[in-house]
Structure 1
Amino acid sequence: MCSLYRSFGCVYLLLEPYWKCTHGKVEVTKDGKFLTTMGKCKVFGELAILYNCTRTATVKALTNTKLWAIDRPCFQAIMMKTSLVRQAEIVDLLHKVQIFQHFPEETLNKIADVVEETYYDDGDYIVRQGAVGDTMYIIQKGKCHVTQRPGSGGSPRLTNTLKKGDYFGQGSLDGRDEKRDANVIAADKEGIVCLTLDRDSFLQATGGPDSFISKSVDDSKNKKVDSEFADIRLPDISVVATLGVGGFGRVELVRVNGRNQTYALKQLKKKHIVETRQQEHIMSEKKIMLESRCNFIVRLYRTFSDSKYLYMLLEACLGGELWTILRDKGSFDDGTTRFYTACVIEALSYLHNKGIVYRDLKPENILLDSQGYGKLVDFGFAKKINQGRKTWTFCGTPEYVAPEIILNKGHDFSADYWSLGILMFELLTGSPPFTGSDPMKTYNIILKGMDMIEFPRKITRNAANMIKKLCKDNPTERLGYQKNGLKDIQKHKWFDGFNWEGLKKRTLAPPIVPHVRSNSDTTNFDDYPPDTDPVPPDDMSGWDKDF
């Protein structure tokens, strides 16, 4: 929306500006009724730099008037740069703190999001000896004196001087309410600034003080599992049947010599990857899937390559594609949709905690294992962006693409929340809410927003409410984007009474239990003819040497 500012015959056309009066006087009226006058240093229009809104009053210059004006794009660019600079400075300080040095970058970004800047005047006590505390401090500016009273009593003695980058109180983050063993006093005439991190925020951002210990144990277990596949070679693999066919190549059900278990082998034509410029996406897919250890994500065990193809040896999920079941049934009831939405939420929670945005959510990318649990597959569009970061790549299935991706505004994890709402709608009705005869028409319909969509009666009130909260036009307003993240989605009324613990432990009975007679049974997949495509040419460029 554009606003007009008129001053003695001059017209200024600005995009949602926010004004500060530096000289002169203006009159404010509403519906022709006088409200007030404003002069130097007064501001108006500030809501317009935060979000698109209708002007609530008219402002008219009464004298020759000078204004400072800033429009929304400029304001947002400044705020983004300021935020990124501040976060970089904080993360740089965190790198210097010994107890944080083992945390990955995405965890440090999370910590940077929850620390607070606190100012202390010269002589202020930051902590007192003997007091119980739950906060850690990192000096960002200035210096402090550390004093300690001897155990036998007497006056406190100066024992240390702390400066920028030094820290104290870290022992309070481990869950114990220990008493402070010294005084820390601000000792800078210009005052000091500390980054403060309380225990609750630390636990929420990191998962607890033992998180890196448990991570190292898990990693060692994962390495042991991965070593089981290190000696497998392509000639050891024999095809049992075809599970899927696409432009990229085929997915075959395979056996490995000397093993009873079956696997899925995804083969990708290198020529097709190069022609569609998907090299970076393929390498990212391999890295993300190899590192993923989640019961709701299909496992990738190892990869191979030759002159014509790339190969991915995957966990075989013989329950079939959720899309195939949806196609045959027409739509799912509330309970079935809730269960498979919950499976997706568990997968997204795992990915987002690792700083990964998925970006390709749709029923075709959800496979059922033999028990009926849903698992995400196909990570070609997944990308590691870390907390507080955005990416500008245009990708995804047209019907599921979020508005900010279409508008090239930059997107983050909230794009997955939008897609989650679209998935719910499609599972409940059999088709996504935004469809057009071509992608551009679909994008134009998406930009009109979810409020323009008429919900069928079969979608319950709570389900409709959740879909609309997930599919807010503004990414920051979407359910799941707030402080508690995906937990806010789990606590929505639509999930009232849902057994999340049973889902995680796999003791909850799935609504669809596929009939799988053996580990070579492919009856839950469509039938595919033998491969008659011409053999692709060799690709010896070497871009896949690390695959």
Structure 2
Amino acid sequence: MYDTLKNSYQLFEEIGRGRFGTIVRAFSPDSAEFVACKIIDKSVLTDETDRACLEKEPKIMTLLSPHPNVLKLFNVFETEDSLAMVLELCEQETLYDRVVKRTLSEPEAAAIMKQLLEAVSHCHRLGVVHRDLKPENVLFDSKNNLKLADFGSAEWAGDGGVMEGVVGTPYYVAPEVLMGREYDEKIDVWSAGVMMYIMLGGIPPFCGESATEIFQAVLRGNLRFPPKVFRSVSPAAKDLLRKMISRDVSRRLSADQALRHPWILSGGEANPID
């Protein structure tokens, strides 16, 4: 595979490392652009679930392309022992890197949420549920455009629109996933709402000293806005958060509905909700 890959791209330095492989910066002579190459060693994949995710990710990314807020997949090289995905090159700073530095203003958060919800809405229209939305999986290109990445846990919901299986990351996972029930695409809306809460407040809405404690807090779903942290956050922003981080799935907004919320439409201007 490496020979085929090197015939098509010039490989440079490592820019990232994941559970199963590395990401290197590469140059495409055909497009005269730099790209990112995710190289995965299949020999380390002992779990059948991991192997299934690896096979599914490029297929799902191909289905979702092109969209301005979804990371582009340009090419795939595969052998029995390894897989390489050639991807759009983004800045190394993720949304996680931004939010650990400082809380965001409402206009800043609204600009990010609009692009994130556009990406999520696009996925849902095509029957794809990301299932692991978190700040680490939100990248930005050189022009500061948001790019949703890492579709390793994503699933095609099929005609019924429901899935099973506990996946996700403790702070961001929706309660219905933890309950072991069937769930639908609205788990992504919950996770996006948690991300918005962290952008504005600098803390997660459901905390604990361990994964178990965090899961228990998520299951209780007692959404609060500590006055010291959320004193300057507008009623409109809090209204959207309540409607996205709702334990009652039937009352939780869809991604399309969230995009039409006044706070998103106003660009995060602090207008009260009537």
Gaps of 5+ in 2: 269-274
Alignment of 1:486-505 (within 5 A): 486-498=255-267
Q: Distance in 2 between matches of 1:431 and 1:251?
A: 30
Give the structure 1 partner of residue 93 of structure 2: 320
Give the structure 2 partner of residue 69 of structure 1: none
Q: Distance in 1 between matches of 2:205 and 2:38?
A: 31
Letter in 2 for 1:460: S
Q: Report if aligned partners of 2:107, 2:267 keep a CA contact under 8 Å in 1.
A: no
Give the structure 2 partner of residue 466 of structure 1: 240
Q: Distance in 1 between matches of 2:142 and 2:81?
A: 32
- Alpha carbons of 1:390 and 1:331: their partners in 2 closer, same or farther (altered >3 Å)? same
Letter in 2 for 1:462: A
Give the structure 2 partner of residue 234 of structure 1: 5
2:189 to 417, 420, 426: 417
What TM-score results when the alignment is normalised by the length of structure 2? 0.88
Q: Distance in 1 between matches of 2:96 and 2:197?
A: 13
Query: How many Å apart are 1:247 and its aligned residue?
Result: 2.1
Give the structure 2 partner of residue 454 of structure 1: 226
Query: How many Å apart are 1:307 and its aligned residue?
Result: 4.9
Query: How many Å apart are 1:318 and its aligned residue?
Result: 2.9
Q: Distance in 1 between matches of 2:31 and 2:77?
A: 19
2:38 to 266, 282, 289: 266
2:201 to 409, 429, 442: 429
Which SS does the other structure have where 2:62 is aligned?
A: helix
- Alpha carbons of 1:361 and 1:269: their partners in 2 closer, same or farther (altered >3 Å)? same
Alignment of 1:201-280 (within 5 A): 233-236=4-7, 237-257=9-29, 259-275=31-47, 277-280=49-52
Which SS does the other structure have where 1:441 is aligned?
A: helix
Higher relative contact order (CA 8 A, sep 6+): 2
Give the structure 1 partner of residue 213 of structure 2: 441
Which SS does the other structure have where 2:250 is aligned?
A: helix
Letter in 2 for 1:465: D
**Aligned residues, how many?**
262
Alignment of 1:57-456 (within 5 A): 233-236=4-7, 237-257=9-29, 259-275=31-47, 277-292=49-64, 293-318=66-91, 320-328=93-101, 330-386=102-158, 388-452=160-224, 454=226, 456=229
Q: Distance in 1 between matches of 2:164 and 2:121?
A: 22
- Alpha carbons of 1:487 and 1:290: their partners in 2 closer, same or farther (altered >3 Å)? closer
What TM-score results when the alignment is normalised by the length of structure 1? 0.46
Give the structure 2 partner of residue 476 of structure 1: 250
Query: How many Å apart are 1:465 and its aligned residue?
Result: 1.2
Letter in 1 for 2:148: L
Q: Report if aligned partners of 2:113, 2:264 keep a CA contact under 8 Å in 1.
A: no
Query: How many Å apart are 1:488 and its aligned residue?
Result: 2.1
Letter in 2 for 1:492: H
Query: How many Å apart are 1:498 and its aligned residue?
Result: 3.7
Letter in 2 for 1:235: K
Give the structure 2 partner of residue 227 of structure 1: none
Q: Report if aligned partners of 1:298, 1:315 keep a CA contact under 8 Å in 2.
A: yes
Q: Report if aligned partners of 1:290, 1:302 keep a CA contact under 8 Å in 2.
A: no
Query: Which whole-Å deviations, capped at 9, do the CAs of 1:135-189 have from their partners, x for residues lacking one?
Result: xxxxxxxxxxxxxxxxxxxxxxxxxxxxxxxxxxxxxxxxxxxxxxxxxxxxxxx
Query: How many Å apart are 1:430 and its aligned residue?
Result: 2.5
Structure of higher CA gyration radius: 1
Query: Which whole-Å deviations, capped at 9, do the CAs of 1:83-109 have from their partners, x for residues lacking one?
Result: xxxxxxxxxxxxxxxxxxxxxxxxxxx
Give the structure 1 partner of residue 271 of structure 2: none
Q: Distance in 2 between matches of 1:319 and 1:339?
A: 20
What is the CA RMSD across the aligned residues, in angstroms? Answer: 2.1
Q: Distance in 1 between matches of 2:209 and 2:94?
A: 25
Q: Distance in 1 between matches of 2:60 and 2:198?
A: 27
Q: Report if aligned partners of 2:205, 2:224 keep a CA contact under 8 Å in 1.
A: no
Letter in 2 for 1:487: D
Q: Distance in 1 between matches of 2:13 and 2:81?
A: 21
Q: Distance in 2 between matches of 1:478 and 1:433?
A: 16
Percent identity between matched residues is 27
Which SS does the other structure have where 2:57 is aligned?
A: helix
